Every structure is written in structure tokens, then in C-alpha cells.
Amino acid sequence: MALAETLPTEPAPAAKPQGYWSGVGARLIRDPLTLFCSAVILGLILAAIFAPWIGLADPYKGSMIARLKPLGTEGHILGTDEQGRDMLARLIYGGRLTLFIGLMPVVFAFFIGSALGIVAGYVGGLTNTIIMRTVDVFFAFPSVLLAIAISGALGAGIVNSLVSLTIVFVPPITRVAEAVTSGVRALDYIDAARATGADAFTVIRVHVIGNVLSPIFVYATSLTSVCMILAAGLSFLGIGVRPPEPEWGLMLNTLRSAIYVNPWLSALPGVMIFITSLCLNLLSDGLRSAMNVRD
């Protein structure tokens, strides 16, 4: 208290305490493109979740006489597929599996990869060598090849797709997490925290995670678009979701037979994949700049 009167010689601090996240929020609000893309993604997710209650036709019910009706047909605003099922309903229902298989592997990989990378980066030494050299081996496979190899070996199915895509995305996230963590590990505030006698787990929990998670998170969001395209691609190849489930990649595959009859109809599921993947990429870019993360 004796020194309190000497304080005015130092610059007056900002009027209102500002945390990191309120700053991120303020920057996001001022970024219309990112907001728009979040709205599109959110809309697709909500439509997929609430599909049964928004007055759509039955996505599984076909009709032999109403096959491959063009866009704008009465009662089928986006036409019908090769079995006469309503395209609008199938596209919206298709978002359920496509978004699920397209996003969840990145979520799983985010947790697994962050854990591995943070441990490798903080502990260092032999632990680091074992984890990172294993990761290097997976980097020897182009991601498409690895996903198809594992899915191909495991066989078609939703769970198998989730497993193979998670395996594909764990190594890159681990590598980023390790790099960011060893950077933070070298900073003085980690030394200061260790100097209190805190154990490694406490230092990681209080001081490391908060500072490495946002770059890892931003990196993970940049993978969602690739994951979407790959997930739909697996179904397109016939090693993902099985018929008759509506799924964009699978629909794109089954509608290929129709390109001479009703070409633009057959391209519709791909439009959905493209829009989603584009919005995910733009959203990730927006988050990157709002969160001040550099590559």
C-alpha cells in the first residue's frame, strides 16, 4: 500500500478487462462472410436434425412411374431420383449422414490428436520420438489413399467410415499440436509455473491447454472441408454408407446412370457437398483471423 501512490506514473490501463474470447467474438461479429457461412452450416445441420417434422416427402418411398422427374415438377420441386424418390427430401435427409460422417471424424481426431501432440510436445524425449515417428509413417500416405485403403479393407458401413477417417486425421492434428505445444513449453510462464512445484499434469491443465487449444482448433476446422469431401467420396465409391440410406456421395453415385436422361438432376447431391465444403473452408478462414492464429 505504501507504493500505491507511485502508480500514476505508469500508463493507465484499459478501461474494461478484456478476455481473449470476448475479443474473438467481437471480431467475428464484424465479419459478414464468416457469419453467413456459419448460418448456412447451422441451417443445414438444423434442417437435417428436424427433417422429419418440416413436411417433407418420405425419402425412402419410390415410385416406378415417377422416376427421374426434372427439377420443378409439381410435388417434387427438385425432381425425383432413379427410383422415383423425392430429391428435396433425400437431399435434406442426406445431410444427416453426410454431415455426421463428414464432421465427427475431425472431432474425434481433435481430441485424440491434441492429447497425443500435447503429451509429445510437453514431455519431449523418447515419448516424443515414439509418437512423432509413428505419425510420420502415416504421413507417407496421401489422405485419400489412406482413407480408401482402411475403408476398403474394413468394408462399407458407417462405423467403418468413421474409424478410417478418424485415423486419417489424427496424424496431422497430432503434428500441429506437438509443434504448438513445444513452442509454448519453451516460454517463461511454463518455467514460472514449474517453479511452484506443480506437477506436469497441473501445468498442462492450467497453463498449456488454454494456450495451445485455439491454434489446434483452428487447424482442425480447416480439415472439416476435406473430411466432408472424403466422407462423401467413400460413399461415392461404394465403401461408405450403404443403400438405400440417403447420403450425398452415395446419391451422386447412384444418379450417375441418369446423366444422359436428366443430367442436372444427377449433379444436385454434389452441389450440396460443394456448398457445405465451401462454407466450412470460409468459416475456418474467418475463425483463423478472428482468433489471430498464424499458419
Partner 1 sequence: MSAIDHAPDTAGTAPEGPLLVVQDLQKHFPVRGGLLGRTQAKVQAVDGVSFEVSKGETLGIVGESGCGKSTTAKLLIGLTEKDKGDIVFDGQSLGPDLSLKDLRKSVQMVFQDSYATLNPRLTILDSVAFGAKVLGLEDPAGLASKMMDRVGLDPDRFAHRYPHELSGGQRQRVNIARALAMSPRLVVLDEAVSALDKSVEAQVLNLLNDLRAEFGLTYIFISHDLNVVRYISDRILVMYLGEVVEVAPVDSIWAAQAHPYTRSLFSAMPSMDPDNRTKVPPLTGDPPNPINPPSGCRFHTRCRFASEVCKARAPKLAGLSENAAHLVACHLHDPASGHPDAGQGLPS
Partner 2 sequence: MLTYLIRRLILVLPVAFGVSVICFLLVQIAPGDPLTAIMPVDATAEEQDAMRAAYGLDKPLPVQYAIWIGNLVQGDMGKSIASGRPVAGEVFGAVQNSLVLALSAAVIAFPIGIFLGFLAGYFRDTWIDRVVTAISIAGVSVPNYWLGIVLVIIFSVNLGWLPSMGAGPGGSSEWEWNWLHIRHLILPAVTLAVVPIGIVARTVRALAGDILTMDFVQALYAKGMSRADVLRHVARNAAATALSVMGLQLGYLLGGSILIETVFNWPGSGFLLSNAIFQRDLPLLQGTILVLALFFVAMNLIVDVAQAAIDPRIQRT
List of residues contacting partner 2 (CB under 8 A): 133-134, 136-138, 140-145, 148-150, 152-155, 225, 229, 232-233, 236-239, 252, 256, 259-260, 263-264, 266-267, 269-271, 273-274, 277-278, 280-282, 285, 295
When the beta carbons of 7 and 64 are compared against partner 1, the nearer one is 7
Q: In the set 8, 55, 155, 197, which binds partner 1 (CB under 8 A)?
A: 197
Scanning 65-73, 173-181, 197-205, 224-232 for contacts with partner 1 by CB under 8 A, the matching segment is 197-205
193 forms part of the interface with partner 1 (CB under 8 A): yes
Residue 172: exposed, middle, or buried by beta-carbon count in 10 A (0-12, 13-18, 19+)? buried
Write out the H or E segment, with its range, that includes residue 9: none
Of the candidates 272, 111, 130, 127, the residue with the CA atom closest to the CA atom of residue 177: 111
CB of 233 to partner 1, least distance (A): 38
d(CA 184, CA 181): 5
* Residue 232 interacts with, from partner 1, partner 2, none (CB under 5-8 Å by kind): partner 2
Residues 2-21 that bind partner 1 (CB under 8 A): 2-4, 6-7, 9-11, 13-14, 17-20
CB of 96 to partner 2, least distance (A): 18
DSSP letter at 255? G
Are 148 and 156 in contact by the 8 Å Cβ rule? The answer is no
Looking at the DSSP bridge assignments, the partners of residue 86 are 80
When the beta carbons of 5 and 295 are compared against partner 1, the nearer one is 5
* Residue 115 interacts with, from partner 2, partner 1, none (CB under 5-8 Å by kind): none
Q: b/e string for 64-95 if b means 16 or more Cβ within 10 A?
A: eebbbbeeeeeebebbbbbbbbbbbbbbbbbb
Distance of CA 215 to the CA centre of its chain: 14
* Residue 136 interacts with, from partner 2, partner 1, none (CB under 5-8 Å by kind): partner 2
DSSP letter at 58? P
210 forms part of the interface with partner 1 (CB under 8 A): yes
Taking residue 239's Cβ as centre, other Cβ atoms within 10 Å add up to 22
Chain contacts with partner 1 (rule: CB under 8 A): 1-4, 6-7, 9-11, 13-14, 17-20, 187-189, 191-198, 202, 206-207, 210-211
